[in-house]
Amino acid sequence: MKEAYLYSNVQGKVRCTACNRYCLLGEGQTGFCGIRKNIDGRLFLLSYGRAAALAIDPIEKKPLYHYLPGGRVLSLSSSGCNWSCSYCQNYEISQRREIMGEYLTPEEIVKIAMNSGADGISYTYNEPTIFAEYAHDIGVVARKRGLFSTYVSNGYESAESIPYLGEFLDAISIDFKGNGNDLFGRKYIGILSYTPVFDTLKRLKNAGIYTEVTDLVVPVKGLGDNQEDARTLSRWIMDNLGPDTPLHFTRFHPDYRMRDVPATPVETLERHHAIAKEEGLKFVYIGNVPGHPLENTYCPNCGNELVRRYEFQIKKYEITPEGRCPFCGQDMHIVRKRRTSW
């Protein structure tokens, strides 16, 4: 464990400032996420150095489709979470609130990444916001070795954490794990409101961290698959992040406490896709439906298929080295280089 960076002392207690729960912890108390604890008036990250899962993944799995396409990342998680999604697919590491995993220093993690031929490191599987200090220290070393860093996050970062992430983070996939409907968030995630997620998206844009957005479409009681919510989300992205922001509608699969809810019908995802396109977003995708044509990238100007995918593998790639459509010259908004300034 290691003393946390993201906290303050408040009237004899500590307030964690890593995420929007802002847990106020008395002596000996542990935060909602289960891995940050007040010990003798100082906040400690109990899971610092503890890697609960390590795997090599294509960057498309995060999903990040327009950031260094075809790149490989070392995926890393710790344990615990600041959300309590009833359908969490990684509940064994996220929802037990236990400290688990092998002890590995930041230098050792970067060495593993480099030895396995990865181009970057992705902090994923459980919410990285809660282990930001470990991710930060890995990311700083990784940057020196020429590796990029990405988060897969629920977007519940505090305002205080964004400048800290800006010291090492290149790209982020914000996964709503629902559709931005507050009723859904209260019932199935354990949050009062999605407003902090929208605030995070604006702060990430201001900080210059490359962002893609994911909306997990959960077909439950008209709350998680509501078409009006899909329109509201798409319109918000258009107005606040811009039409070039990639948006992924991903398919829910039954898991954890929601094994009785069937997988999202493909037609529902297609309808969401159509709504986002109607609202003007240029790069909209369907995820978790291997082989579906809407996994692919089409030029928003001439309509030609430029990138064909099967699940997370790229099967065809015809975007020019300058990131343009070879048929009409349209800018396809592909990031081909990691950040060079912070």
Residues touching ligand SF4, count (CB under 6 A): 12
Binding mask 171-210 for ligand SF4 (x = CB under 6 A): ----------------------------------------
Q: Is the preceding peptide bond at 63 cis, omega within 30 degrees of 0?
A: yes
Q: Which helix (H) or strand (E) holds 330?
A: none
Q: Is 82 in the site for ligand SF4 (CB under 6 A)?
A: yes
Rama region for 135: left / alpha / beta (φ>0; ψ in -120 to 50; rest): alpha
Q: Which helix (H) or strand (E) holds 5?
A: none
Q: Is 74 in the site for ligand SF4 (CB under 6 A)?
A: no
Q: Is 48 in the site for ligand SF4 (CB under 6 A)?
A: no
Q: Is 31 in the site for ligand SF4 (CB under 6 A)?
A: yes
CB of 143 to ligand SF4, least distance (A): 24
Cα–Cα distances in angstroms (integers) from residue 67 to residues 187, 211, 218, 328, in the given order: 33, 9, 26, 21
Q: Which is nearer to ligand SF4, 125 or 249 (CB)?
A: 125
Q: Is 18 in the site for ligand SF4 (CB under 6 A)?
A: yes
Q: Is 128 in the site for ligand SF4 (CB under 6 A)?
A: no
Among the residue ranges 31-39, 62-70, 217-225, 334-342, the one whose residues contact ligand SF4 (CB under 6 A): 31-39
Q: Which of 1, 5, 13, 22 binds ligand SF4 (CB under 6 A)?
A: 22
C-beta separation of 73 from 182 below 8 A:
no
Distance of CA 47 to the CA centre of its chain: 20
Among the residue ranges 26-34, 178-186, 212-220, 324-332, the one whose residues contact ligand SF4 (CB under 6 A): 26-34
Q: Is 14 in the site for ligand SF4 (CB under 6 A)?
A: no
- The structure tokens 């329109």 sit at 231
Q: Which is nearer to ligand SF4, 9 or 240 (CB)?
A: 9
In the 8-state DSSP scheme, what is residue 56? E
Rounded Cα distance between 234 and 99, Å, is 37
CB of 147 to ligand SF4, least distance (A): 25
Q: Which of 14, 16, 99, 284 binds ligand SF4 (CB under 6 A)?
A: 16
Rama region for 178: left / alpha / beta (φ>0; ψ in -120 to 50; rest): left
**In the chain, what is the straight-line distance between the N-terminal and C-terminal CA atoms, in Å?**
28
> Of the candidates 90, 216, 203, which has an alpha carbon nearest to the alpha carbon of residue 156?
203
CB of 183 to ligand SF4, least distance (A): 22
Could you list the residues that contact ligand SF4 (CB under 6 A)? Answer: 16, 18-19, 21-23, 31-33, 36, 82, 130
